Amino acid sequence: MIEKKVVTRFAPSPTGFMHVGGVRTALYAYLYAKKHNGTFILRIEDTDKEREVSGATEHIMKSLRFILSGDETLEKIDPWDFGPNNPGEFGSCIQSERLDIYNNYAQKLFDAGLAYTDPYSNDEITAFREQSERAKAPFLYRNHRPKEFSSVWDKTKPLRFKTPTIGRTDWSDAVRGKLTAGAEALDDFIIMKSDGYPTYNFCHIVDDIEMGVTHVMRGEEFIPSTPKFISMYSALQTVLPEKSIELPIFVTLPPILGETGTKKLSKRDGAKDVLEYHTEGYLPEALANYLALQGWNPGGEQEIFTMNELIDLFNISRIQKSGARWNEDKLLWVNKKHMTDKYKEHPKGETLCKRDFYNALPDFVVRDPRFKEQQYPAGSIGSSPDWTTSFHALFERYFERISFWGELTQDLIKAELEMIIDRPNVSKDLVVRDLDINETKLILGEVYNLLYTSDEIVWSEKYLRELLSIAITTHGTKKVLWPLRVSLSGQEKSVDPFSLLRMIGKEEALHRIQNVLDSI
Task: Please report, as ranges, the residues that interact with ligand GLU according to CB under 6 A.
Answer: 11-13, 45, 200, 204, 218
| Residue spans of alpha helices (H) in 36-115 | 56-69, 99-111
- The Cα–Cα gap between 85 and 82 comes to 8
Nearer to ligand GLU, 218 or 392 (CB): 218
The Cα diameter of the chain in Å comes to: 107
Least CB distance to ligand GLU at residue 4 (A): 19
Nearest distance in Å: CB 204, ligand GLU: 5
Under 8 Å between Cβ of 278 and 60? no
Of 45 and 285, CB closest to ligand GLU: 45
Angle, nearest 10°, between helix axes 284-292 and 20-35? 90
Smallest separation (angstroms) from ligand GLU to the CB of 230: 14
Compute CA distances 1 → 4, 23, 24, 174, 237, whole Å.
9, 34, 32, 20, 21
> Residue 415 and residue 393: Cα distance in Å, rounded?
17
Nearer to ligand GLU, 274 or 500 (CB): 274
Min CB(264)–ligand GLU separation in Å:
14
Cα–Cα separations (whole angstroms), residue 10 to 27, 93, 317: 9, 11, 20
Exposed (0-12), middle (13-18) or buried (19+): which is 108, by Cβ within 10 Å?
A: middle
Q: Which is nearer to ligand GLU, 45 or 356 (CB)?
A: 45
Least CB distance from residue 205 to ligand GLU, whole Å?
9
User: Smallest distance, Å, CB 221 to ligand GLU?
Assistant: 8
Specify the residue, 223 or 510, whose C-beta has the smaller distance to ligand GLU. Answer: 223
Please state the closest distance from residue 242 (CB atom) to ligand GLU, in A: 25
**Residue 50 Cβ, how far from ligand GLU at the closest point, in Å?**
14
Comparing C-alpha atoms, which of 17, 4, 45, 28 is closest to residue 79? Answer: 28
Element containing residue 325 per DSSP (H, E): strand 324-325
Question: What are the φ and ψ backbone dihedral angles of 460, each rounded to 5 degrees?
Answer: -90, 165
Residue 434, exposed/middle/buried by CB under 10 A (0-12, 13-18, 19+)? exposed
Q: Within a 10 A sphere around the Cβ of 307, how many other Cβ atoms?
A: 21
Q: What is d(CA 482, CA 443) in angstroms, rounded to the nearest whole number?
A: 11
Rounded to whole angstroms, the Cα distance separating 350 from 337 reads 18
CA separation for the pair 397, 391 (Å, rounded): 10
Question: At what angle are helices 226-239 and 200-210 packed, to 10 degrees?
Answer: 50
Smallest gap from Cβ 200 to ligand GLU, in A, equals 6
- Compute the distance between CA of residue 297 and CA of residue 289 in angstroms, rounded to an integer: 10
What's the burial of 244, exposed, middle or buried (CB within 10 Å: 0-12/13-18/19+)? exposed
Among residues 215 and 479, whose Cβ is nearest to ligand GLU?
A: 215
Minimum distance between the CB of residue 146 and ligand GLU, rounded to whole angstroms?
Answer: 30
CB of 42 to ligand GLU, least distance (A): 11
Nearest approach, Cβ of 415 to ligand GLU (angstroms)?
44
Our CB check for ligand GLU shows the closer of 93 and 471 to be: 93
DSSP string, 260-273: TSSSB--GGGT---
State whether residue 172 is helix, strand or coil.
strand
Smaller CB distance to ligand GLU: residue 10 or 482?
A: 10
Query: Nearest distance from residue 253's CB to ligand GLU, in Å?
Result: 10
Residue 487 near residue 444, CB atoms below 8 Å:
yes
| Residue number with CB closer to ligand GLU (65 or 204) | 204
Q: By C-alpha distance, which of 64, 56, 54, 61 is closest to 26?
A: 64
> CB-wise, 12 or 227, nearer to ligand GLU?
12
* Distance, CA of 281 to CA of 292 (rounded, Å): 19
DSSP 157: S
Contact 484, 356 (CB under 8 A): no
Handedness of CA 362, 364, 369, 375 (dihedral sign): negative
Query: Between residues 21 and 284, which has the closer beta carbon with respect to ligand GLU?
Result: 21
Q: In the complex with ligand GLU, which residue's Cβ is closer, 30 or 357? A: 30
Cα–Cα distances (Å) from 484 to 280, 453, 468, 492, in that order, read 35, 16, 11, 12
Nearer to ligand GLU, 9 or 479 (CB): 9
